[in-house]
Amino acid sequence: MRSLRMLISISALVVCLSQMTKTEREALEIERIFASCKKTSPDFDGCIKRAFNKVRPFFKIGIPEMGVAPFDPHFAREVKQVRAINGVGYTLTLNDVFERGWSNSVVTKYKTDWENQRIIYSQYFPEKWLNGDYEFKGDAFGLGVLRSGRWNMTLRDYSQTTRIKRNGTGVDVHVEVDHIGDMEIHVGNLVRGNGILERMLDRLINATWKPGFAVIRPLINDLVSTAFTDIWSHSFKDFPLDNFIRD
C-alpha cells in the first residue's frame, strides 16, 4: 500500500513538473518572439506584425503563465443591435455567440499611433465561422414582429481593419469590414418553422446578400467589435507586453 501511495505521489509530481515546464516554455517562446521588437527601431511596426502572426498557435490554447485565456473559438454572451431606419425600427439580440477562425487569420498591416496611444491593424481571414441564438423584435407601421431561433454565418475571403485605443484602464475598439469575398448565412424560424418557405428564403438571402450588404455590414462590425473588445479587455488585460519590447 505504501508503495502504491508513493507511486501515485511521484506520478502527480511528474505531471505537475511537466505542466510547469510547458507553461514556462510557452512564456519563454512568447518572450523570444517579441524580443527583437525595439520601440526606437524604424521596423518596429513590421516587427510587431510578424510577432502577432507568430503567436497564432497560442490562440486556441491560451498562455496560462501570462493570464491569457484561449479565444479560438471566442464566446460572447450577448451582442445587441438597435436600429431605426425611415420609421422602421428593430432590436436584434444575438445570444451565446461562438466565433471561430482566429488561428487561421493573418495580420497584413500594423501601425502604432504613439501620439494618440492607438494601434491600427488589418487582418485577413480565409474563413470565419459564427453561430448562436437570436431574438428579433421589429416594429414597422405599428405592426410588431417577434422571432427567435438559431443562426449561423460563414465569411470567406474576409478582411477587416481594427483600431484599438487606450481608455483609462480599458480599451475602445472599432472594427471596420474591408472586404467579404463570399458569405453564407442561415437563420432558423424566420417564417415560424415552415420548412419549405424557410429553405426558399434561405436561398434568396444567400443569393442576394451583396446588394443588401449595407444592412448586414453594421451587424458584422458589431459582432467583431464585441469579440475584440472582450479579447483585449479580458484575455490580454494582464499580458506583460512591456516586459518583452525594449527601447
User: What average pLDDT does the segment 47-62 reach?
Assistant: 90
pLDDT of residue 126: 97
Strand partners of residue 246: 38
Give CA angle at 180 (108, 68), nearest 5°.
50
- The string of DSSP letters for 13-41 reads HHHHHHHHHHHHHHHHHHHHHHTT-BTTS
User: What average pLDDT does the segment 39-64 reach?
Assistant: 89
> Domains along the chain?
12-243 (3.15.10.30)
Beta strands in 103-193 (DSSP E): 106-113, 118-140, 143-167, 170-187
Q: Nearest Cα to 185, choosing from 212, 159, 163, 161? A: 212
Q: Which of 45-54, 55-64, 76-85, 177-186 is the most confident on average?
A: 45-54
Are the C-beta atoms of 93 and 134 separated by less than 8 Å?
yes
What are 178-217's pLDDT values in tens digits?
988 988 888 888 777 666 767 777 777 777 667 767 777 7
